[in-house]
Amino acid sequence: MIITKEQFKKDFEKKMLKLYAQEVEDSTIHMQYFTLGYLMKEYISEGWAKTTNRYTKYGEKQVYYFSIEFLLGRLLASNLLNLGIRTTVNDALKDMGLSLKEIEDVEVDPGLGNGGLGRLAACFMDSMASSGIPGNGNGIRYKYGLFQQKIVDGYQVELPENWLRDDNVWEIRKSDKAVKVRFYGDAWMKPKEDGSLEAIHTDYQEVLAVPYDTALVGYENKTVNTLRLWNAEVPNYSDDIQGELNFNKVLLNKREIESISEVLYPDDSHQEGRVLRLKQEYFFVSAGLQSIVSQHKESGHPLSELHNYVAVHINDTHPAVAIPELMRILMDEEGMEWAEAWHITQNTMSYTNHTIMSEALEKWQIDLFKELLPRIYLIIGEIDRRFREILSTKFGEDQNQIEKMAIISGGYVRMAHLCIHGAHSVNGVAKLHTELLKSQELRDFYMLYPYKFNNKTNGITHRRWLMLANPELSDLLDETIGNSWRRNPQDLKLFKKYKRDPDIQKKVEQIKQNNKEKLAQYIKEKNNIVVDPNSIFDVHVKRLHAYKRQLLNALHILHQYHEIIENPNFDMLPKTYIFAAKAAPGYYFAKEIIKFINALADQINNDPRVKDRIKIVFLENYSVTLAEKIIPASEVSEQISTTTKEASGTSNMKFMMNGAVTLATLDGANVEILEEVGHPNIVIFGMTEKEVLNYYRNGGYNAREIYESDARVKRVLDSLTNGFIKGIQVEGQDIFKNLIDYNDEFFVLKDFDSYVAAQKKMEDLYRDRFTWNKMSIENISSSGVFSSDVTVMQYASGIWDTRIIER
């Protein structure tokens, strides 16, 4: 987009007057934000309309990315960058006595995701638009995002995250595109005179799904795609509802319906929460598919060719009901026979698996599913019956094998099985993950459908995680290798030739130091902890889960603490350990680890014997915006999940792109990071895939033996229960029991020795500034392959069969 500074000033002043009847010089910072936001939406709207019309006019095949999470982050800075006018706007606002940075900081960061899944979806949306791929997002417009985390006396406390308390400038409500979604009731198949069957669904609860559309702006191109989020509302009631009793029923029904789009991931530890979770999944899937089919029919193309114009992607199993729902629409509403509807459905749907752990594969109790979605259950029942016939031809009378693979079995509807059978493509999200799916968790399905399985390693958008988050480094890259990397991130490899250049090394080091000083100031303001920006910034930020092993990190810190106490001359470089993580509200062990980390921080940070050689910071309420502050300042990237447990990871890519050195197990995409940067530029520790799988298959692991034989481990674990760490009597006992009595499911103690050695190696490397800076440059220059631009291009050609229109 081309706009002059003077034109922008006029537009801004005019918009301010229109919105607030206020002169710019008399405006508040919130007025300035909303004025700029609504003005940007106007600038975007023309390109948005032209993109939509172009897709329709030329019959482009469009991708619809179905995800229960979209963790977008703030959009103002991103939209200004992608429009190519950020510098112009910054200069114009400065002329007017305003600060773009201060205005950008007003924007709420919507927490419409829990972590990697939602952030990946957001990166894909950005990359599809920037790569010229006709792509749309489809999800839920939660009233409250993932909870706002507060740390009170070391404990996680959850508060509502009301991101919609003020206007959302980016969305447009499309009431005319609303559809109705049905729950409950009775469903059966009624014979017709011609011998065919007709689906009957009566006594259902009807919910109005109203779409809110947000523009997704491509980077300096003419593509503006759409993210459609659905809001659950009450349909208009007929005029014959009278009386207090009926009115009260209406109010109860209203509350029940509106709760569908109220909160992300309701607590599913009880039946009511599980029902609501499944309601959410069907709600946005049904609404999205109804909208897609309606739009396809309006285009004039026959429904029999839907799969030639539409690709629906199932991001993890939450949208798995898309498969039977499309069958329902095609058969019940459009009159298709089963065979044709199934052919279209299979060729429309594709599925990404995001987990290796079989216990995390989604499944629903039959009774719950059947009561809430009776018609969908009938369709899944028929899919299962026909799938069992396929299995019978392969496995004969082996009923155990058939039950093992069936979609409905053991009292449950198994959503991953539904996705694999009902989609034409099944992909993992890292090479190791995909190979483990094929050889372990989904081996039976791989043997049945080898042609469906493929790998698409996750990626991140370098526009947000480098260009926006680290402008100084971006400018240095422009100065040294030109700016082609901004459009073609794999050109970052050109920076590799500067890895031994002392001047460039010094500049890279200074940029990192500047970012560390900014983060240190933020930590002082938020946590009232003074950290040394000259210390090593060792960072572990991600969802709090036992397999991600924040506990291993904390136990190592406790080990170092003991070493300092016992030997005041203990040789170590000053280190600042930075944590940020949310634990699921019902995940009590994860919340106990948070308490342990905070208790450890409180004790170490205030112990004069430590002499500030260790500082621990737990930053509350981890979000995209907070990550943008932390990642550019990070020097050591902790990626220490138990090998075979992390599907991919994306924070590992963000850190390396900003010059951090990865401390990693050979898990998820860490394996591919190693392949790209080489052994000298990453520090690897821990058990191999084969060693881990051997323990899981054959047993033989004994955590107590390690506790009794390794004096360091014994000292650390005893500190959890003997009062050495203050304020964790209950938490310390539970952590001890988890590691010893329950035999350390994620091999924290097995990898402890290797981790201690890896931390020492990382410290030794850091002492050699030439070597460390060379490693940092190697990581930056090797990160381009992990751009989500690269990933979505692979999806477009290998799965979705979509044309790349412009780039």
The pLDDT, as a whole number, for residue 389 is 97
Residues in the chain: 807
How do residues 103-159 score in pLDDT, each as one tens digit? 999 999 999 998 889 999 999 999 999 999 999 999 999 999 889 999 999 999 999
- In whole angstroms, give the CA distance from residue 59 to residue 252: 44
665-685 mean pLDDT: 98
Enclosing H/E stretch for 280: helix 271-298
- Collect all residues with Cβ–Cβ distance below 8 Å to 701 and sequence separation of at least 6: 695, 743, 744, 747, 750
How do residues 44-79 score in pLDDT, each as one tens digit? 999 999 999 999 999 999 999 999 999 999 999 999
- In whole angstroms, give the CA distance from residue 729 to residue 733: 6
Which residues are catalytically annotated? 354, 542-543, 548, 650, 654
658-663 mean pLDDT: 98
CB of 750 within 8 A of CB of 687?
A: yes
What's the distance, Cα to Cα, between the start and end of the chain in Å? 15
Label residue 449 by pLDDT band (50, 70, 90): very high
- Residues pairing with 189 in the sheet: 199
781 compared with 166, residue with greater pLDDT: 781
DSSP string, 120-150: HHHHHHHHHHHTT--EEEEEE--SB-SPEEE
- In whole angstroms, give the CA distance from residue 340 to residue 732: 59
Residue 337: how many other CB atoms lie within 10 Å: 10
The pLDDT, as a whole number, for residue 237 is 64
Residue 726: Cβ-neighbour burial (10 angstroms; 0-12, 13-18, 19+):
exposed
User: What are the CA-CA distances from residue 527 to residues 537, 543, 598, 622, 729 (Å)?
Assistant: 16, 20, 12, 14, 24
- In whole angstroms, give the CA distance from residue 162 to residue 108: 9
Look over the chain and give the mean of its residue pLDDT values, rounded to a whole number: 96
Percent of the chain past pLDDT 90, that is, above it, reads 92
User: Which range (149-158, 267-276, 687-696) has the least confidence?
Assistant: 267-276
Could you tell me which of 780, 90, 36 has the C-alpha nearest to residue 476? 780
Give backbone dihedrals phi and psi of 520, rounded to 5 degrees, phi first: -60, -40
311-335 mean pLDDT: 97
Q: Is the pLDDT of residue 250 over 50?
A: yes
CB of 616 within 8 A of CB of 601?
A: yes
Label residue 799 by pLDDT band (50, 70, 90): very high
Q: Is the pLDDT of residue 238 over 60?
A: no
CB of 6 within 8 A of CB of 13?
A: no
Q: Is the dihedral of CA 425, 430, 432, 433 positive or negative?
A: negative
Could you tell me which of 236, 228, 229 has the C-alpha nearest to residue 208? 236
Q: Is the pLDDT of residue 592 over 90?
A: yes
The pLDDT, as a whole number, for residue 187 is 96
| Residue 111: half-sphere exposure toward Cβ, Cα within 13 Å | 23
Label residue 20 by pLDDT band (50, 70, 90): very high
Give backbone dihedrals phi and psi of 155, rounded to 5 degrees, phi first: -100, 150
Percent of the chain past pLDDT 70, that is, above it, reads 98
- In whole angstroms, give the CA distance from residue 57 to residue 46: 16
DSSP type of residue 369: H
E strand residue ranges, 657-801: 661-664, 683-684
Give backbone dihedrals phi and psi of 163, rounded to 5 degrees, phi first: -70, -15
> Alpha helices of 462-543 — where are they, by DSSP H?
462, 471-481, 502-527
- In whole angstroms, give the CA distance from residue 474 to residue 476: 5
CA dihedral 665, 666, 669, 671 (to 10 degrees): 130
Label residue 93 by pLDDT band (50, 70, 90): very high
304: which 2 tokens?
């029999």
Q: Is the pLDDT of residue 95 over 60?
A: yes
Q: Is the pLDDT of residue 715 over 80?
A: yes
DSSP type of residue 787: B
CB of 433 within 8 A of CB of 668?
A: yes
The pLDDT, as a whole number, for residue 239 is 47
251-270 mean pLDDT: 89
User: Which range (196-200, 560-564, 704-708) has the least confidence?
Assistant: 196-200
